[in-house]
Amino acid sequence: MNDYYKELGVSHDAEKSVIKKAYRKLAQEYHPDKNPDKPGAEERFKKISEAYSTLSDKQKRADYDLMRAGGHRQSFDPFRGPGGFASIFEEMFGGSPFGGQPHPHTPKQEQRDSSNPSINFQIPFNKLKTGKIIKQFFRLNEEVVCTDCAGVGGEYSDTCKECQGTGHVMEMKRAGNMVIRSTHPCMRCNGLGKTFENACGECNTLGVTSEQVVYEVTINCKKK
């Protein structure tokens, strides 16, 4: 059984935002078109996409964790569920800021799903007793629209001829008397559904970049 957490290099209790960041990094590193001379890049790309397909979905991840713990013996299928890999790339790349349209079979609730991690910090009780105002600062990396390409991803975008603009392709394999059908991200356009004559060097066609943002939390320590 594949260890999807190890595949993405994240811990078993990793937040969805951490998993997403790890996948983005690995997808760029092993994309076959960007690494044509790298042995095994295509196979590695498929494996990390399969891992992200499972760990980014709350229900699939729960089922996978249960099976890893020996909770049941049913075989685990990372491709099951509405949209499959297409749903992943619609969440990450489809719609704004790239202008793509959601897959017609993707539920609206799934399209609206977003990561909402929690931040925990501790305050010594002695500080609370002082009655003073306590300020705490947090530095977080957030995705923002790329200023170099205004979120487009590059210049002279055109519909990808490999996937016809869907961002994913269908693959069929025969196993004995059975035909297994799977969907995976289009490797020609990296799941965007578009190709660029001049890709943006700042965001590498993603349309977003990472920016460090500082937040301030103020706590007024008063007895009631």
Q: What is the residue extent of each domain of the chain?
A: 4-78, 120-153+200-223, 156-196
pTM above 0.85, yes or no: no
d(CA 189, CA 27) in angstroms, rounded, equals 12
Residues 95, 86 contacting (CB under 8 angstroms): no
Residues 214, 136 contacting (CB under 8 angstroms): no
Q: Tell me what pLDDT residue 8 has.
A: 92
Classify domain 4-78 by CATH architecture: Orthogonal Bundle (1.10)
Q: Tell me what pLDDT residue 10 has.
A: 92
Q: Tell me what pLDDT residue 100 has.
A: 42
Q: Tell me what pLDDT residue 161 has.
A: 85
Tens of each residue's pLDDT in the chain, 224 residues: 688 999 999 998 888 888 888 888 888 888 777 777 788 888 888 888 888 888 888 888 888 887 777 644 444 555 444 444 444 544 454 443 334 444 444 443 344 444 566 777 777 888 878 878 888 887 878 888 888 877 777 776 688 888 888 888 888 777 777 878 888 888 877 777 878 778 788 887 778 888 888 888 888 877 77
